[in-house]
A = this chain, B = another copy of it.
Amino acid sequence: MRSKGFRASDNSIRRLSKYLRELKEMEKRGIEKVSSYVLGERLGHTPSQIRQDLSSFGDFGYQGYGYNVSSLRRSLEDILGKNSELTAILVGAGNIGKALLENFPFDECGVRLLGAYDVDPAVIGTEFRGIAVQSQADLDEELTLKVPDIAILCVPKTAAVETAEHLVERGIRAIWNYTNTEILPPYSPVILENVHFTDSLQTLCHYVAEAKK
């Protein structure tokens, strides 16, 4: 994982995830090598773009051959932090929180989920894949001991900003935000990744409405 001078754009990073997805699929099918041309065909990108994206992180290919699927897969996993032993907690075990607890493939991203927390007594104690939901007090205690790398924020909209600020005050430096709310001021030093479902559907609806006209 050799990093070069300039840094890749956010769009480029997101494409790496997409490439990784396709590479895993190819690996599963026993495909050994792939060229930027073929990968681009499959995913709708130009060969140039793929080579540019990859080359900003290292020399992964071989001239006249292309890329070895398995080894490029491993390199992309490295870049995307799979081997960085990152830890996370989940805050808010409502519906979306539960869905993540029950189903999300954290291993696939190399993230170890340390715990889940909620304020609702009816939910506290419930167990999902070996993780029992704990109380707010437990969360605060936990954070004094060790701050995980990532907080997955799944609390209701109304508690979103408050909870986010609380977590950041206690040392959290990255948030995976499911609250459909802008939880922190722009340019805050916290690394923020938003999953805004309504934004996504509204974008789709815009194009659908346009197409219907």
Residues of A within 8 A of B (CB): 10, 13-14, 16-18, 20-22, 42-45, 79-82, 84, 86, 94-96, 98-100, 102-105, 108-111, 149-150, 173-174, 176, 180-182, 185-187, 191, 193, 195-209, 211-212
Residues from chain B with a CB closer than 8 A to the CB of A96 are 99, 103
Q: Which residues of chain B are near A191, meaning CB under 8 Å?
A: 204, 207-208, 211
* Inter-chain contact B21/A182, CB cutoff 8 Å: yes
- Which of B149, B185, B204, B207 is in CB contact (< 8 Å) with A208? B149
* A contact patch SS: helix
What 3 A-B pairs come out closest when comparing CB atoms?
A: A44-B186, A81-B205, A81-B209
- Report how far A77 CA is from B10 CA in the complex, Å: 28
Q: Are B206 and A200 in contact (CB under 8 A)?
A: no
Per the bound structure, the CA–CA distance linking A185 and B193 in Å amounts to 27
A80, A186, A193, A205: residue with the most chain B Cβ atoms closer than 10 Å: A205
- Among B13, B22, B108, the residue within 8 A (CB) of A198 is B108
Residue of B nearest to A187 (CB): B44
With beta carbons under 8 angstroms apart, the residue of B13, B44, B205 that contacts A109 is B205
- A92 → chain B, closest Cβ, in Å? 12
Contact in complex: A205, B82 (CB < 8 Å): yes
- Bound-state Cα–Cα, A156 to B46, Å: 29
Q: With a CB–CB cut-off of 8 A, which chain B residues contact A44?
A: 185-187
A1 vs B75: C-alpha distance when bound (angstroms): 47
Chain B: CB-nearest residue to A109: B201
Q: Is the CB of A199 within 8 A of B21?
A: yes
Contact B102 A207 (CB under 8 A): no
Q: Does A195 contact B200, Cβ atoms closer than 8 Å?
A: yes
CB atoms of B14 and A212 under 8 A apart = no
